[in-house]
Amino acid sequence: MAFHFDPRTVLFLLLISQIILFLDISIFIEVITVIILVVPFFISKQFKWGLRIGIVYSLQLFIAFIILPNINNAVLLYPLSMVANGFRELIPGMIVGIYAIKLTHSGEWISLFKKWHFPKFFIVPFSVIFRFFPTAREDYRQIRNAMAFRGIERGPVAFVKQPIQTFEFILIPLLMNASQVAQDLTISALTKGLSIPGKQTSIINLRMTKVDFIYMVIALVPIIIYLGGLF
DSSP H helical segments within the chain, as ranges? 7-21, 27-43, 47-62, 74-81, 87-103, 106-115, 120-149, 156-161, 163-166, 172-191, 210-219, 221-228
Looking at residue 34, its pLDDT comes to 95
| Neighbouring residues of 125: CB distance < 8 A, sequence distance ≥ 6 | none
Reported pTM: 0.78
Per-residue pLDDT tens digits of the chain, which is 231 residues long: 568 899 999 999 999 999 998 888 899 999 999 999 999 999 999 999 999 999 999 999 999 999 988 888 878 888 888 888 888 888 999 999 999 888 888 888 888 888 888 887 787 777 777 777 778 888 888 888 887 787 777 767 766 777 777 777 777 888 887 777 777 777 776 666 666 666 766 777 888 999 999 999 999 999 999 988 776
**Cα gap 25→226, rounded to integer Å:** 7
**Torsional sign, CA 52, 58, 61, 63:** negative
- Separation between Cα atoms, residue 92 and residue 81, nearest integer Å: 18
Indicate the domain borders of the chain. 7-105+206-228, 117-191
Would you say 15 and 217 are in contact if contact means Cβ atoms under 8 Å apart?
no
